Amino acid sequence: MRLTVKQMEVFHAIVVAGSISQAKRVLGLSQPTISQQLAKMEELLGVQLIHRGRGESLRLTAAGEYWYKASNRILTEFENAEQQHRILFDEKRLTLHFGTTPSLRGRFTEVAAQTALELDQFARFDFDWGLTSAEVVENINAHKFNCGVVSAASIEDQRASFHIEFLFKDRIVWAVPADVPDELIALALDRLDVEPGAEALSRYVDVTPPIPWRERSDNWYRSQLPFAAPYFGCVTHQAAVDVVAAGLATCHTPISLLPNLPEQVRERIKIFDIGEHIREVVFVMPKHLMSLRPFAMYATKISEYIRATYSDAQFVDQILPMPRIDHLAAAE
């Protein structure tokens, strides 16, 4: 019996995800099924591919390194052949699977879908998301997504594998409950203490899993509001802002989240500019797909549209300068 494409897909996904347990998310299979497929592949090859250990970190054997590279090459060529077949012999059977993160989703859902439709080259468009940019990239590497919009930091060590289009720099802003007076915010920043009526400033929302700029966010709280504690934990920035809108805490969030927020949430928060850009946002697509005209056209059109239309100007009336005692005194 020879190796199957399925076995190579499972092994490749394990390596990309970093562990058998994490591969469940990418493959949509149970952990026992994944383990069985890996064991069968090792049995057929007569070698061990992965060192089994107690830790979560994955270590490949020499044979594992070889078969990871071979699987990646074979799966890429297989995907390319399937797509090329659809272009040549099965008109309009191409599927475009686009991915991004929750904080970026609202910015691109409409334009991503509209661009695919206007090209009239795809039979189906799927929009999906991962909790983090790293998870989106993981799904692209596992051949689950065709392309996506992610932070540049998430593909730093994989740039050679991707066609990359720079889109914009995303700002970090500070979200505060709207009912906390600016004077009390200024006093808290100046005196490093919380006055009655501003208790929400003593708590902030910690977004998990860890985000690339989390340390910068924690350092900001340590220096500006050292009394604030990460009392709440949420898996997305949108959930974090919901906690802020409830008047319970503050949080940092990318400015690109703002279009996602319902009006009833936006009207219950204030957004302050802390003067930091947190990430470069890029469009990525595996280089091998750029050899196929429909995908190359999609990459060009959506990147041009985003660069032309994205602007912080639309948020000028929503983003406020940080309240300071001297500023408030001058205004009076």
Query: Where exactly are the structural domains of the chain?
Result: 1-89, 170-279+323-331
Percent of the chain with pLDDT strictly greater than 70: 90
Q: Look at residue 208 and tell me whether its pLDDT is greater than 60.
A: yes
Q: Look at residue 1 and tell me whether its pLDDT is greater than 70.
A: no
Q: Are 188 and 214 in contact (CB under 8 A)?
A: no
Structure-token pair, residue 283: 């469009």
User: What average pLDDT does the segment 300-310 reach?
Assistant: 84
Percent of the chain with pLDDT strictly greater than 90: 33
34-61: b (≥16 Cβ within 10 Å) or e: bbebbebbbeeeeeebbeeeeeeebebe
Structure-token pair, residue 237: 């920035």
105-117: b (≥16 Cβ within 10 Å) or e: bbbbbeebeebbe
Identify which has the larger pLDDT, 309 or 195: 195
Q: Look at residue 269 and tell me whether its pLDDT is greater than 90.
A: yes
What are the angstrom distances between the C-alpha of 252 and each of 9, 57, 303, 321?
38, 30, 27, 15
Q: What is the mean pLDDT of the chain?
A: 85
Helix (H, G, I), strand (E, B) or coil at 279: strand
Q: Look at residue 157 and tell me whether its pLDDT is greater than 90.
A: no
Instruction: Please tell me the least confidently modeled range out of 78-87, 270-279, 309-318.
Output: 309-318
Q: Look at residue 329 and tell me whether its pLDDT is greater than 80.
A: no
In sequence order, the 6+-apart residues with CB closer than 8 A to the CB of 331 are none
Going by pLDDT thresholds of 50, 70 and 90, the confidence category of residue 106 is low
CATH architecture of 1-89: Orthogonal Bundle (1.10)
- Predicted local distance difference test score (pLDDT) of residue 104: 79
Beta bridge partners of 242: none
Task: Output the furthest CA–CA distance in the chain (Å, rounded).
Answer: 83
Q: Are 173 and 253 in contact (CB under 8 A)?
A: yes
Say how many residues make up the chain.
332
Peptide bond before residue 209 is cis, with ω within 30 degrees of 0: yes
- Predicted local distance difference test score (pLDDT) of residue 209: 67
Q: 165-195 pLDDT, tens per residue?
A: 998 888 889 999 999 999 999 999 988 778 8
C-alpha 194: how far from its chain's center? Answer: 34
Is the pTM value of this prediction over 0.85?
no
The correct answer on CATH 1.10.260.40 for the domain covering 170-279+323-331 is no
Q: Which alpha helices (DSSP H) does 90-213 contain, by range? A: 102-119, 133-141, 182-191
Distance CA 126, CA 318 (A): 32
- Predicted local distance difference test score (pLDDT) of residue 185: 94
Q: 242-263 pLDDT, tens per residue?
A: 999 999 999 999 887 887 788 8
Q: Look at residue 318 and tell me whether its pLDDT is greater than 80.
A: no
